[in-house]
Amino acid sequence: MKPDYEPLFEDLTLRSGVRLKNRLAMAPMTTMSANPDDSVSDAEIRYYSRRSGGVGMVITACAYVSSNGKGFPGEISVHDDTYIPGLKRLAAAIKEKGAKAVLQIFHGGRMSPAEFVPDGDVVSASEVPPAQGVGLGTMKSPRPLANEEIEGVIREFGEATRRAVEAGFDGVEIHGANGYLLQQFFSPYTNRREDRWGGSVENRLRFPLAIVDEVKRTVQAHAGAPFLVGYRFSPEEPETPGITMAETFVLIDALADKGLDYLHVSLNDFWAAPRRGTEDTRSRMEIIQDRVVAKVPVMGVGAIRTPDEAAKALRTGVSLIAIGRELVVDPDWAEKTMEGREAEIATTLTKDDQQKLVVPDPLWQTILHVPGWFPLAE
């Protein structure tokens, strides 16, 4: 192994006591490959198992916690105890290969297509419709959640965490990014409420922080072994009014005081600069890392393709690097890096690679038919 890559393979013990064998994580990526009843499919288990040998942690595609929270076709569910057996098989398959298994838990809110929600009753913080064409289904204007429904969703995140514990996962990642329900409550663009859940930035923070508290309370009550809790967030929004870097600082300051195991910054480009809300011209990742340093580990992601890029990103001080599409293209990315075989890492796909790469049909068809998403070679 090249000396520059050695820091990528140092172990890390998180606040919860969960020990990661290295600093690499498989990023959460939607597979759209659950069974018709949204239980975990055999194809998904094979897909994750194939990619769990080299990284220290595998974060699954998001699992919806409420019956009205499904955001994608073929998304796995964790909203009922009947899903525990399939989730147990998934956790075991990941852990068998040496990685820690982390279930990402989520509610789509206004980003849930109407046909995936009982009676088409799409909900959010406020009645702000999503842009057309943003989802994989029929998008409609949401209904604002009533106070008792908000409290119910908070409890459902706790119940999802209990199921993750019972299924044998090593942790959960709360999905508060990418415009889904938690972000919808925090954002001044999607939250126009005038009650205790809206208005000031402190009120808009109330819902995501209540979910963190409920998840941690559930872990304390049900986990007999170390069990991690991470939180994923998006640092800015393009809309006006929307989340700025200044409001992001309020969010991460509050999260950093919650005793979380890590903060996962959702970015398309690790080195992207801020839009507004700060005079700092460094990348968002560097600004965030410096702000929460010594309080909570940070996981970086975004167009990190090569070991050199991963090593450079780690040198910013972040604790963890998430690798996404690269692990689809080459499931042995981490092993090849560790063994000094980085020149052998595949960088492109061909249309004939599905079986070799153990990719489920729905995900493979999406890869082939979304131009530019993956590097396809003839």
pLDDT tens digits, 306-340: 999 999 999 999 999 999 999 999 999 999 999 99
Nearest to 102 by CA among 18, 29, 26, 170: 170
Whether the Cβ atoms of residue 56 and residue 12 lie closer than 8 Å to each other: yes
Nearest to 20 by CA among 46, 49, 50, 59: 59
> How do residues 333-362 score in pLDDT, each as one tens digit?
999 999 999 999 999 999 999 999 999 999
pLDDT (mean) for 94-123: 97
pLDDT (mean) for 235-264: 96
Please report the pLDDT score of residue 134 as a whole number: 74
pLDDT reading at 131 higher than 90 = no
Please report the pLDDT score of residue 104 as a whole number: 98
User: What HEC string does the chain produce?
Assistant: CCHHHHHHHCCEECCCCCEECCCEEECCCCCCCCCCCCCCCHHHHHHHHHCCCCCCEEECCCEECCCCCCCCCCCCECCCHHHHHHHHHHHHHHHHCCCEEEEEEECCHHHCCHHHCHHHCCEECCCCCCCCCCCCCCCCCCEECCHHHHHHHHHHHHHHHHHHHHCCCCEEEEEECCCCHHHHHHCCCCCCCCCCCCCCHHHHHHHHHHHHHHHHHHHHHHCCCCCEEEEEECCCCCCCCCCCHHHHHHHHHHHHCCCCCEEEECCCCCCCCCCCCCCCCCCHHHHHHHHHCCCCCEEECCCCCCHHHHHHHHCCCCCEEEECHHHHHCCCHHHHHHCCCHHHCCCCECCCCHHHHCCCHHHHHHHHHCCCCCCECC
Question: How large is the C-alpha radius of gyration of the chain?
Answer: 20
Please report the pLDDT score of residue 305 as a whole number: 96
Please report the pLDDT score of residue 9 as a whole number: 98
Give the burial string for 267-280 (b: 16+ CB within 10 Å, else e).
beebbeebeebbee
Please report the pLDDT score of residue 109 as a whole number: 98
Give the residues across from 118 on adjacent strands.
Answer: none
Please report the pLDDT score of residue 63 as a whole number: 98
The catalytic residue among 180, 189, 231, 262 is 180
Please report the pLDDT score of residue 232 as a whole number: 98
> How do residues 204-230 score in pLDDT, each as one tens digit?
999 999 999 999 999 999 999 999 999
Instruction: Note if 48 is an active site residue.
Output: no
Residue type, position 41, single letter: S
Binning pLDDT at 50, 70 and 90, where does residue 135 land? confident
Measured CA to CA in angstroms, residue 350 lies from 357, 362, 374, 377 at distances of: 11, 16, 10, 5
What percent of the chain has pLDDT above 70? 100
pLDDT reading at 44 higher than 80 = yes
Please report the pLDDT score of residue 88 as a whole number: 98
Averaged pLDDT of the chain: 96
Binning pLDDT at 50, 70 and 90, where does residue 294 land? confident
pLDDT reading at 136 higher than 80 = no
Please report the pLDDT score of residue 378 as a whole number: 76
Higher pLDDT, 148 or 372: 148
Nearest to 261 by CA among 316, 208, 320: 320
pLDDT (mean) for 141-165: 98
pLDDT reading at 71 higher than 80 = yes
* Cα-based angle 162, 164, 168 (whole degrees, multiple of 5): 115
Residue type, position 113, single letter: P
Please report the pLDDT score of residue 293 as a whole number: 87
